[in-house]
Chain A
Amino acid sequence: MSAIEGLDTAVHHPEQAHHHEPQSFWQKYVFSEDHKVIAKQYLITGIMWAVIGITMSVIFRIQLGMPDSNLSWLKPVLGAWISESGKLDPNFYLALVTMHGTIMVFFVLTAGLSGTFSNFLIPLQIGARDMASGFMNMLSYWFFFLASVIMFASLFLQTGPAAGGWVIYPPLSALPQAHQGSGMGMTLWLASMAFFIVSQLLGGINYITTVINLRTRGMSFDRLPLTIWAFLITAVLGLISFPVLLSSVLLLIFDRHFGTSFYLSEIYINGEALPNVGGSPILFQHLFWFLGHPEVYIVLLPGLGITSEVIATNARKPIFGYRAMIASMLGIAFLAFIVWAHHMFVTGMNPFLGSVFMFLTLIIAVPSAVKGFNYITTLWKGNIVFTPAMLFAIGMVSLFVSGGLTGIILGNSALDIQLHDTYFVVAHFHLVMGAASAFGLFAGVYHWFPKMFGKMMNNTLGQIHFWFSFIGIYLVFIPMHYVGIAGFPRRYYQFTSYDFTHKFMDMNMFITVAAILSFLAQFIFLYNFFVNIFKGKTAPKNPWRSNTLEWTTPIVPGHGNWEGEIPAVYRWSYDYSKPGAKEDFIPQNIPYSQTLESNFPHENELIATEKEIEAQNFNDQFNTAH
């Protein structure tokens, strides 16, 4: 491979040849240790899960919006879950809701988003050959794959998959006699999540290590693109919180199978008083939400990072307040750990704790507001190119703000009394965490597709996809706020049992129709994505005229990413439209000594440090100095 020729400047390493032996199909595409392949594996798996997860939501939306409709046409797929009269089974309704939540939160927006883009972008944007440990990275994907297989298998159980809500609160989830979804389905759910957590930890350790240790020459922390900051902070969040979920899952497994009483106490069910005493279901909720809340930011921060990069590139402007953006992400990450109990205001938790968590929760609005305003100021006086990625990034900011604002209502414990577990909450988190993160994911896919596959996606189809999705999302979730204000509880199979829910039939049908249409719009994306992997126009080297390092690699980067030396970095990644510069972008690897016409005075002083940067040991994994 030609990569070797470029490497001869540095110490020749005996293992070097080993890296460039031709790899078998299995090594190259299946059990690959290359971060780019692993990223694509995560992305494709995530897309498949997204199709399943969103399809589920459409099925239960039909149940809610058109309760009288005959669902017999689903019989070929759902079999016995559709009754003879064409009605959806109430147990299966709960299973659908549960699996939709689990799949979307963990398998799509955690693995699919963070797994894809942390893997793909960290080495490429910090200037590394690969992850710190390619092997662990491969393990991370295959543990995720194993988790996926188990979760997928649980869909086919006769008793159905787990069905106690994605939060799997015991005792419902602990007692198979309480609900059929708490039998084998829950066992598989717990097993799958245990493997999923292992996968996340292997991935997270790798991301953190790579960002800290393998940055190229000159890539100081204050020159890292915001994407990398976001991935780093996300990985730290995951590393701290996922083990807590694992422990809560393990304790639940003990309660289910080994007769312990961590979460069980004083239960009489099916004509039998259980012997368990002294446990607390609230304990599980504390442990669960200690992950569950940071999880919101694990899902959201990569989206915000991607958005920062995409908005700056396509507005042709530096991101406004780079340091404030980092500070606000750090602030959000820190606060994410001390707000978990705002999910538990009405669980019977001590009301004093409720007050404390209300204060802490509402503080988180401040760094979030800073981010929102910084994005807007970045758009201000830009020269905006509406690539599909840019549209999704703009949409993401809008959804993040719109959904985040209702969080201020829900974080207020007094108001949460009425709104807790109503559709108001559903509308809130779908906007701020579901749709906003999904839009971050789309922005990322559209933006880095050329780098991933060396091909271009169709621009117009991408723009069409955006408008249908964006309008569709708002048409689904704005009316859902009204339904929530009217007090409709979540996870109800139908709304016919109560007088107070005997209204809004048209509104629920409207939501369903909007959901179906936005669902159909996603097929535009699927077509655009899969067809253009094979048939797309060959991408130029730097299609978006972007500053970050990944665009200095060959169009389809091989193993090791750069042919020859890894470029050194001399500036931050946001030198767009710099006054005096010839082009409206100056990539990070251009030294100040070559851009005398556009340098600021303090940057001219930095020219002296360039020699120093170049002389550094450049962390090249293929060329480690001993």
Chain B
Amino acid sequence: MYFIIGLVALVFVVLTVIVVTRLQDVLKNVKKPESADEAPSGNGWNGAMFIVIIIAAVVGITWSYMHAREHFLPIASSVHGRRTDDLFWFSMGILTIPFAFVNFLIFFFAWKYQYKKGNKASFYPDNHKLELIWTIIPAIVMAMLVFTGWKAWSDITSDAPADSEVIEITGKQFNWIVRYGGVSDNKLGNYNYKLIDAQNEVGIDLSDENSFDDFLNPTEMHIPVGRPVLLKIRARDVLHSVFIPHMRVKMDAVPGMPTKFWFVPDKTTADMRAETGNPNFKYEIACTEVCGQGHFSMKINLVVEDEASYKKWCAEQSTFLQTYPEYLAKVPDNLKAKAMKGLPADTATPADTAKTASTGGGIGTTAALR
């Protein structure tokens, strides 16, 4: 760290020294009247600086890239992620050529064609052939990059495959809440933002029978490996954005307009731990749309596991109704019987459990208190 600062400081110190020495020369010459033929003040060292810059830039950029590379994200853990990564590095590779070439020409020409006494610039106002060449070449390169990008984009944003695991993720200030379709029907129930309250954080609509076995998790998202996962993304209050850096996934969460993103994760958390050599490796989901004070820490962990562990984890989760049985009151009478499935036989009436639920929380507690 201090090494780096030292390095920057050094660059600036060297610059300062150059500058001060030049300044003294200039101060000496201040008295002399300037004639039109005389080389403009400081032309020589400014020209030389352009060559210094070329060398410093080549060394600096190469070294800093090598240094930075180890901190880049590991190889993408999703199928589309590796595709966009390849495309990214391919494009960067292509673009490095004009970057180096054009900057070299700018600096080199500046140095080479600096003012020389008696020289006259060449009068060269236009050349249609040249103009045509550097219109067409960038156009062709662009067309190529656009085409590959467009193919990738259309595939990534195409409709999710039918066998996708559908998971809902809702952003609120300042955390994420994940909802699963449940073990018995694996379908997400309807929701309505007007039904949101302190317990029903995502506004599950209990008049829809699909929601009876839905379960929520505000701390962890689990997904199965090797199978498409479709995220249904919502926001409760302001804009958020789901960002899973290792999966190369990003999609805004918009209040009033559900969005979606599907991807195929193909490395489990355990795989990544082995690959990175970091036993504590965790996939993380971050927020990338500014959402207020807690924006920088709006995190939820993501666990990618094999199908069996995933199924097991799902089965272990208590459904929303199990956690808050008092919400049975919101279930229409004709569906009550179905909603009661999976709940303890003598589930309390909603009025009674309202107190215990708010203090105890889980179904386990509620049952124990009975």
Residues of A within 8 A of B (CB): 90-91, 94, 164-165, 169-172, 175, 178-179, 264-269, 271, 273, 277-282, 315-324, 346-348, 351, 354-355, 358-359, 362-363, 365-366, 369-370, 372-377, 379-387, 391, 394, 397-398, 401-402, 405-406, 408-409, 412-415, 417-422, 459-460, 463-464, 467-468, 470-471, 474-475, 478-479, 482, 485-487, 489-495, 497-500, 503-507, 509-510, 513-514, 517, 545, 574, 576-579, 584
* B241 neighbours in A (Cβ, 8 Å): 346, 421
A418 to B142, CA, bound (A): 20
* A319 neighbours in B (Cβ, 8 Å): 125
Q: How far is the CB of A53 from chain B (nearest CB, A)?
A: 18
Majority SS at the chain B contact face = helix
User: Known interface pairs A178-B238, A347-B254. Does A381 touch B122 (Cβ–Cβ under 8 Å)?
Assistant: yes
Which residues of B, 72-118, contact A by the 8 Å Cβ criterion?
72-73, 81, 83-85, 87-88, 91-92, 95, 98-99, 102-103, 105-107, 109-110, 113-116
Is the pair B115, A369 in contact by a Cβ cutoff of 8 Å?
no
Is the pair B295, A491 in contact by a Cβ cutoff of 8 Å?
yes
* A273 neighbours in B (Cβ, 8 Å): 193-194, 196
* B299 neighbours in A (Cβ, 8 Å): 497-498
Is the pair A359, B150 in contact by a Cβ cutoff of 8 Å?
yes
Is the pair A500, B246 in contact by a Cβ cutoff of 8 Å?
yes
Q: Is B282 on the interface with A (CB-CB < 8 A)?
A: yes
A384 to B46, CA, bound (A): 11
Is the pair A405, B142 in contact by a Cβ cutoff of 8 Å?
no
Question: In chain A, what residue has the closest Cβ to B297?
Answer: A497
Q: Is B153 on the interface with A (CB-CB < 8 A)?
A: yes
Question: In chain B, what residue has the closest Cβ to A485?
Answer: B72
User: Known interface pairs A171-B238, A317-B123, A391-B46. Does A379 touch B146 (Cβ–Cβ under 8 Å)?
Assistant: no
- Our pick among A164, A316, A487 for the contact of B290 (Cβ within 8 Å) is A164
Is the pair B284, A498 in contact by a Cβ cutoff of 8 Å?
yes
Q: Is B220 on the interface with A (CB-CB < 8 A)?
A: no
Which 5 pairs show the lowest CB-CB distances between chains A and B?
A265-B256, A351-B157, A348-B259, A482-B68, A412-B149
Q: How far is the CB of B19 from chain A (nearest CB, A)?
A: 5
* B294 neighbours in A (Cβ, 8 Å): 90
- Our pick among A271, A412, A475 for the contact of B146 (Cβ within 8 Å) is A412
Question: In chain A, what residue has the closest Cβ to B116?
Answer: A383
Is the pair A463, B42 in contact by a Cβ cutoff of 8 Å?
yes
Is the pair A486, B124 in contact by a Cβ cutoff of 8 Å?
no
A348 to B256, CA, bound (A): 12
A401 to B152, CA, bound (A): 26
Which residues of B, 1-48, contact A by the 8 Å Cβ criterion?
1, 3-5, 8-9, 11-12, 15, 19, 22-23, 26, 36, 40-43, 46-47
Q: List 18 A-B contacts (CB under 8 A).
A: A171-B255, A267-B236, A269-B173, A320-B127, A365-B142, A380-B109, A386-B47, A386-B110, A412-B91, A413-B150, A417-B156, A421-B288, A460-B41, A467-B15, A468-B15, A485-B68, A490-B288, A577-B121
Q: How far is the CB of A288 from chain B (nearest CB, A)?
A: 13
A281 to B234, CA, bound (A): 13
Is the pair B8, A489 in contact by a Cβ cutoff of 8 Å?
no
Q: How far is the CB of A608 from chain B (nearest CB, A)?
A: 22
Is the pair B92, A321 in contact by a Cβ cutoff of 8 Å?
no
* B248 neighbours in A (Cβ, 8 Å): 417-418
Given contacts A358-B153, A369-B138, 5 further A-B contacts (CB under 8 A): A281-B256, A319-B125, A386-B43, A482-B68, A500-B73
* B281 neighbours in A (Cβ, 8 Å): 499
- Our pick among A377, A414, A418, A460 for the contact of B124 (Cβ within 8 Å) is A377
